[in-house]
Amino acid sequence: MKLTIGKTLASAVDGATVVVVRATDADVEVTSGGLALYDPKSEEPPAGDPNPELLGGTLIGKRYVNAADNVELLATKPGKGTLAIDGESLTLRDAKPLPASD
């Protein structure tokens, strides 16, 4: 699918959600626990069982990026699946949060 910034996607593992914060124009396959993410507003979750090797978890409020650092997903509801793009697992973006200024 083509990712658009601001889009909410859900995990078929347990309904965890992420929001696309950064995206490329490329067509990519985004998965959680090996199952394709879906649009919870308009689509049914894809059938199938998650891959037990890909249940590393998604933490609320954390940002996940690919190695190319051109896609960023922000988890808004936590879950068990490992996020991946085209089979490559995403990693936690290690950013020190700024102090609250307002």
Partner 1 sequence: MHLTMLLDMACDGFGDRVVVGRVSDGLTPADLRRRARAGAALLRSHRAEALLYVAVNGPAYPVAMFAAAFAGVPLVPVNYRLGEEQLDYLLSQHQNALVVTAPESVAHMGQLGLTALTTDEWLSGTDVDDDESDPEWTEAPAIIIYTSGTTSKPKGVLLRHENLVSYVLGSVEFAGAAQDDAALVSVPPYHIAAVANVLSNLFSGRRTLVLEQFTPQEWLGLVRDEQVTNALVVPTMLARIVGSDGDLSVPSLRNLAYGGAAMPTRIIETALSLWPEVGFVNAYGLTETSSTIAVLGPDDHRAALASDDPAVRARLGSTGRVLPTIDLEIRDPFDEVLPTGSVGRICVRGDQVSAEYAGIGRAVDERGFFDTRDKGYLDEDGYLFIGGRVDDTIIRGGENIAPAEIENVLLDHEDVDDCAVVGVADDEWGQRIEAAVVARPGRTIDPEQLRQHVRLHLRGSKTPDRIHVMDELPRTETGKLVRRRVVTAIAEAAEVVDA
Q: Which stretch binds partner 1 (CB under 8 A): 17-25, 27-35, 44-52, 85-93?
A: 17-25
Site string for partner 1, 69-88 (x = CB under 8 A): -----xxxx-----------
CB of 38 to partner 1, least distance (A): 15
Burial 22-33 (b: 16+ CB within 10 A, else e): bbeeeebebbbb
Q: Which of 25, 61, 87, 94 binds partner 1 (CB under 8 A)?
A: 61
Residues 36 and 50: beta-carbon distance below 8 Å: no
> Which stretch in 14-22, 27-35, 45-53, 79-87 sits in contact with partner 1 by CB under 8 A?
14-22
**Is the CB of 40 or the CB of 56 nearer to partner 1?**
40
Does residue 60 interact with partner 1 by CB under 8 A? yes
Q: Is residue 61 within 8 Å of 11, Cβ to Cβ?
A: no
CA dihedral 88, 56, 65, 14 (to 10 degrees): 100
What CA–CA distance (Å, rounded) separates 44 from 9? 12
